A and B are shown apart, each in its own frame.
Chain A
Amino acid sequence: MTTAPRLTKMRYRDALRLALTEEMERDESVCVVGEGIGERGGSYKVTEGLLARFGPNRVIDTPLSEAGFVGLGVGAAIAGQRPVVEVLFIDFLMLAMDQVVNQAAKYRFMSGGEGRVPLVIRTQGGAGNSLAAQHSQSLEGLLYQVPGLKVVMPATPYDAKGLLVSAIRDDDPVIFIEHKLLYLAEGEVPEEPYAIPLGVADVKREGTDVTIVAWSNMVPRSLLAATELEAEGISVEVVDLRTLVPMDKEAVFGSVRKTGRLVVVQEAVHRGAVASDIAATVAEELSESLRAPIARVTGFNTPIPFNLALEKASVPQPPDIVAGVRRVLGVTSPA
C-alpha cells in the first residue's frame, strides 16, 4: 500500500533553503559561498540560518569579488568539494564571465574528460522590482550559448527544491537562475526528500489547441494567460522547460504534435533568443505537425527601464501572451 506524499506549503526561497540544508546534511563536501550569505542570510534570505547550522567553514561570506569567488568555486569543485556559489544578481555574474565561460565550462573537456567541476552558481534575474537596467536582466541566453554549462530556471517551489538538489549532485557546472519575483511565491512541496532530474520538462497545464513553452517567471504569467483564454474556449497547454540545458526537446515535440501550434514565451530580449532556438528546432524537425506559424513572445531589445510603466512594457505580461496565442490561432480578441 502506498500513501500519498505529505505536502507542506512553502515559499520558493524556503524550498531553496531546504534543498541546501538537506544536501549539506547529506554530503560534507557541499558548501555555500557568496556575498552576505552568512549572518545576513543573503539578500533574498535563501541562506538564512545556514551559518548557525553548518558553521563558517562551510558557509562562507565573501568580499565583493565576483570573479575571485566564482573562480574559487571552480577550484574548490575541481579539488573535490561541491560548492554552491551565490551571485547576487545575474547582472553581476558578468564580472565573473571568464571564470564561467573559459574556466568552469571548459575544464572537463580540455582535460580530456578527466577533470570534473561539480559547481553550482545560484543567481537571480528578471525585471519587475524597479531595479533598473543593471539589476533586472534575463541573461540566460549568454550562458545557454556556452557548451559545458547546464542552465536551470525553476518556476515553482517544488521545482526549485528538486532541481537544486540535482544541480548540487551533478558533476558539471550548473547555472541555477532564480527569478526575483518568485522568491515569495508559494507552492506545495513534499516533506520527504526528492530530486528532479535536470533535462525533464513539466506540463504545468494540459490543453489541446496551443502549446506554450516557457520557463521561470513566464510560467505563472503563461498560466494566467491560459486561464483567461479558457474563458474564450481556447485550450492552452503550458510546458515548463525547467532546464534550458539540457533541454527536454521531446516534451516540447510531444505537446506540439498534439496541439499543432506553438508559442514560445521568454522574458529575455528578442534578438538571438533561446525562444528563437526552440522555434527553429520545431520548425526544422516538426514542420509536418505545425498547423500555424510559430509565435515568439519576448522582451524587447532594450535595457530594462526604471519607470514602472516602461518596465512593465519592456517584458511580456499576460495580455502579451494572450495576444501571442490568438495570433497563432488566427482569432481576434472578443470585442
Chain B
Amino acid sequence: MFEYVWLIPLFPAIGFVLNGFLGRRLGKGFVSWVGPSAIGLSFLTAIFIFFELIGRPPAERHFEKVIFDWVVSGNFRTVIGYQIDPLSILMALVVTGVSFFIHIYSVGYMHDDPGYPRYFTYLNLFVFMMLNLILANNFLLMFVGWEGVGLCSYLLIGFWFEKDSASNAGKKAFVVNRVGDFGFILGMFLLFTSLGKHGIWTLDFTEVFANANKLDPATVTTITILLFIGACGKSAQIPLYVWLPDAMEGPTPVSSLIHAATMVTAGVYMVARCNVLYSMAPVSMAIVAIVGVATAIYTASIGFCQTDIKKVLAYSTISQLGYMFLGVGVGAYSAGIFHLMTHAFFKGLLFLGAGSVMHALSGELDMRKMGALRKKIPITFWTFFIATLAIAGIPGLSGFFSKDEILWQAFSSSHGHFLLWLVAAVAAGMTAFYMFRALFMTFFGQSRVDPHVAHHIHESPKIMTVPLMILAFLSIVGGYVGVPHVLGGANHVHEFLAPVVGGGAELGKAHAGISLLSQAWASSGEAGGHSAALELLMMVISVVIALIGIGIAYLFYIKNPALPKLLAERWRGLYRLVYNKYYVDELYEILFINSLKSLGTGLWRGFDDFVIDGTVNGIAYLIGWLSGSIRRVQTGLVQNYAFAMILGGVIIAGYYLIRGIFY
C-alpha cells in the first residue's frame, strides 16, 4: 500500500482536472459527485496507509516513494517524491478527513452559487497542493505546495471577486503571504548553500536532517528564523497576521477548511517537520514560543469586542495557532501537532456552524442581530456548543487534552518558562470568555434578528448538518488519542509521533543548556523533573481559569446584558482600542502602505518617468532601430548573402591564422 502513496494527492488532482475542464459542461450533479469523492478516495487511501503504518514497529515507520526525477543539474538532484511517516500521515488524515466533510458541506452551502464548478475546482486544487506540502520529501516540493495553497487561498478569498472587499482581501492575503514566502525562500536557499559548502547539495528532508549537525549554530539560527518568517505569513502570527481576519470574505466553508483547519497550520507543520533544525537553535525556538504566546493572548483580546461572528472565529484561529507555535516552540512538537489536529476538528466545526447560522439568517454575520437561535436551529446549536466547550478547554473534550498538554509543556519543558505558562493560561481564560460570548450572543437571550429575516429561519439541510455532527463527534473523542499519562491515558499521539519529532526533542535537551529562555530568565533550573501532582494542579488551575472566563461571559451576556455596554462606556478608550483591533491595520497602512505608496509615487514621478521610462523607451527604440536596420541588410539577393558568408569566413580565418602564428 505504501507504494501507492501518490494516490493520495492524485485523486484531488483528477478532481481538479475534471471539474476544471468538464465541470461547466457537465453541470452541478457531476461536480457534486466528483469534488467530494475525489477527496473521499484520498481520505480512504490515507486511512489504509495509516493502518499499515501502525502495523509496523515504530522504528520502521518511514517510507519514501520517488515518483520521478524533477530537476537534475550536475550533482544536484531533486525528485518529486512523497514520504510517509507518522507526522505526514497524521497530517494527511486530518487534511483529507476534514476536507472531505467540508466538501460535502459545501455541496449544500454553495448550491445556488453560479460559480459552483469553479469553487470545487479551486477546492480540489487546494487539497492537492496541501497534500503536496505535507507529503513532500524535500523542501522544494514542499515549497511548491506552500505556494500552491497560497494561490488557492488567494483565489478562494476573492471567490466573489465582484465584491470589492473580497478582491481586496484576496490581494492583502497574497501580499502579506509574499512577505512570509520571501523569508521561506531565503531560508531554503541559505540551507541549501550552507549544506553545499560541506559538499552536500540536497534539499531532501532525510538527507538535510541527517547532515544538519554539520551546520554551525549561527547558520541554523538564521535559517530557522527565516523559515519561521515564512510560517508567520502562512499561519498568521504577529506581525503578519493581518490578512487572516480579512480572509473571512471568502465563502464560509473555505474559511473553515483553509483558514482554520488546514492551510494556516502549514507553518506549525513546517516547524515540526524541521524539528531537528529548530532543536539545534534554541534562540529560534524561544522566538517561536514567544511570538506564539504573544499572538495567542493578543488576538484573544481582540476577540473580546468583535461583533462579526466570523471575525471572532478568525481571531480565535490566530490565537489557537499561537498556542500551536508555543507548543512547538518549547520543543513539544507532538503537543503542537496534537493541538493542530483537535483544532482542525473543533475550529472547522465552529466555522461550519457559523456558516449554518448564516444560512439560516440569509447571510447575516453580525452577532448583535442574532440571539435565541438555539431552539430554531437545534443541530447547529448543539454542535456549535460542543465545539465551544472543546475550544474553551472543558475537561473531557478534545481541546482540553491538547491545550493542556501545551500548557504543561510550556511550563515544564526544558525550553519552557513559568511566564509562558501564565500568559498562555490567561489567554485560555480569555478564549473561554469570548467563545462563550459568541455562543451566548448567537444562541441565547433575546432575539435581535431582523423581523423580515426572522420568519424564515430554518435549519440547514442534511447535507450540511451531517458533517456538523461528524465533526462534533470528532471534537469530543478526538482528544482521547492523546490523554496524558497523569490522567491514566497512554498519550498515543506522542508515542506515535516520537520517531519523527523525538530526535528533535532529544537534540533539544542537549542544547537546552544554552536555551535563551533558561539563560535570560533563569527560572526553573530543574526543568523536566516535575511531579505528577504539580501537573494535576496546573491542569486544575487552567480549568478553573477557563470556568472563570465562561462565568464572566455568562454574567455579561445572559445574566446582565447591560453590563458590557456599561463597561464599554466606562473604559471607552480601551474599548475602542480593542474594538478597532489596536489600530494595527491603520498603523500598517501608515507605516508600510502609505509610505510605500508615496515612495512609489515619488519613484514613479522622478525616477521612473525619466530614468526607467527613458531607458526602456530608449532601449525599445534602439532595438526597434537596430531591428529595422539589420532587416535592411536582408536584401533578398543571393550575392549579398554569400558575401556575408565569405565575410564571416574571412574573419574567422583571420582570427585562427593570426592566433596560429602568434601563439
Q: Do A and B come from one complex?
A: no
- A positions within 8 Å CB-CB of B: none
Residue numbers of B with Cβ under 8 A of A are: none
